[in-house]
Amino acid sequence: MAEIEYEQQGGIARIVLNRPERKNALANDMRQQLTEAFRQADEDDAVRAVILTGTGDSFCTGADAGRMTALDVKGSRNRLQRNAHTLIKTLYNIEKPVIASVRGNTLGIGLSMMLACDLAIASQTARFSCIFMRRGLAPDSGAVFFLSRLIGQARARELVYSTRFIDAQEAAAMDLVTKVVPDAELEQATLALAENLATQPTYALAMAKKMFQFSLAPTLEHFLEYEALMQPQIHQTQDYREGIAAFKEKRDAKFVGR
């Protein structure tokens, strides 16, 4: 069974994270498959709206540390740019509206992907966390870029520094998600919104999307370049190694500040 599924019905493409046994945690090869799926949707003129969702009880719980190998600074930078950054830029730059349909845990790069979408519908079971610090990492995949623009730097800092979980209602109050619906209604509510968007003037929607992007400075590409310079250095720290070890051993991390 494919870990990334691509389905198309009429003018709507559904891109599905299909690794429920790992709560849709992303490995590097899944990032590459997602990138290709987004490119396929973008290049297909028959596709006029895109849904991104996950199977099981979670949207995406972040990166799968168990399928990542240790690299030096240069290798880590290349991997970040080649995989996560390529994925986020491809998703963000699709010239069609993209809807995130989320339930359960949405963490780390899962949160970044949701924020890179145009709209997000969450079920009442959804929970969100910018969880990177618990792994001894600074945020990546554009999380700070998106959060600071959506909710302002003060609230973005609080979410990043605390790594606390917020529920669907708080996420809606912060404007992180567009709408909250009962879990049983999530699929239908998402489909109804996608069907409506698929009847709109697709090129005009694409140009409106570009206008929103051009209104931001610096660009996502500039921001991700800064990430790529900083994050690989963090991978060499003792705290990062402790964060990953604690995650694998299911215990609280004991950071020492170096």
Residue 73 pLDDT exceeds 90: no
104 close to 23: Cβ distance less than 8 angstroms: yes
Q: What angle do CA 116, 88, 26 make, to 5 degrees?
A: 105
pLDDT at 68 over 70: no
With cut-offs at 50, 70 and 90, classify the pLDDT of residue 69.
low
Residue whose C-alpha is closest to residue 33's, from 13, 7, 4, 62: 4
Q: What is the pLDDT of residue 218?
A: 82
Confidence of residue 214 (pLDDT cuts 50, 70, 90): confident
Q: CB–CB of 39/90 below 8 Å?
A: yes
Average pLDDT for residues 41-52, to the nearest whole number?
97
In the chain, where the domains are located: 4-185
CA distance 242 to 120: 33
Residue 66 has pLDDT above 80, yes or no: no
The pTM score is: 0.91
Identify the bridge partners of residue 127 per DSSP, sorted by sequence position: 105, 167
Bond into 218 cis (ω within 30): yes
Expressed in angstroms, the distance from the first to the final Cα of the chain is 42
What is 4-185's CATH number, 3.30.70.250, 3.90.226.10, 1.10.10.10, 1.10.443.10?
A: 3.90.226.10
